[in-house]
Amino acid sequence: MKKNSQVQLLKNEIKRLKKLVYLDPLTKIYNRRGFSEIGSRYFQFNIKGKQKRRKNEISKLTIIFLDIDDFKKVNDKHGHNKGDKVLRAFTRFLKKNLRKTDIIARWGGEEFVVLLVNISEDKSKQIVQKLCRKISKNKMSGLYLTVSAGLTFPCKNENLSQVINRADKLMYQAKKQGKNMVIISK
């Protein structure tokens, strides 16, 4: 085998392994590991950008934590195959209704996390509220869904994990307060 062929085979194998490590096999979006790695880079660039103020800096980050309400009932009533179809439809919906620059991940089960980049706090709030309204009005694989969401913004010197944890807690507040809503905090 020629050296160039071997190199190409290795490159293809690395690409395949990266997909296995960083992408959710069901939805084909980032998994927790992939999101954490990419998101951490954005946070590092954001901190550096505030120090240096570059033309193409990354700034104004927002984290949205979404959980599909009562998803267990979907699996219990319609089966796990239907649940999988719903998760894929939900993912397509998120991709269609968010910007290409936003990072979307399946955090686990029916939980999703989104990183909005270079967007104001007011615009972030509008986006998540509109997104939740649209979710409740659109069938996903034949079913109407609602989501509970937490939206938050990084504080000075906070890392990605800390912001995600805060957004997750806000999402749980939304669940406790009746579901199908967004809790927003700084």
Question: Active-site residues: which are they?
Answer: 110
Sign of the dihedral defined by the CA atoms of residues 164, 165, 166, 167, in that order? positive
How far is the C-alpha of 161 from the C-alpha of 171, rounded, in Å? 15
Bridge pairing between strands 62-68 and 111-116: antiparallel
How far is the C-alpha of 113 from the C-alpha of 105, rounded, in Å? 5
Reference 94, options 72, 114, 109, 74; nearest CA is 114
Strands ordered across the beta sheet of 147-152:
103-108, 111-116, 62-68, 147-152, 182-184
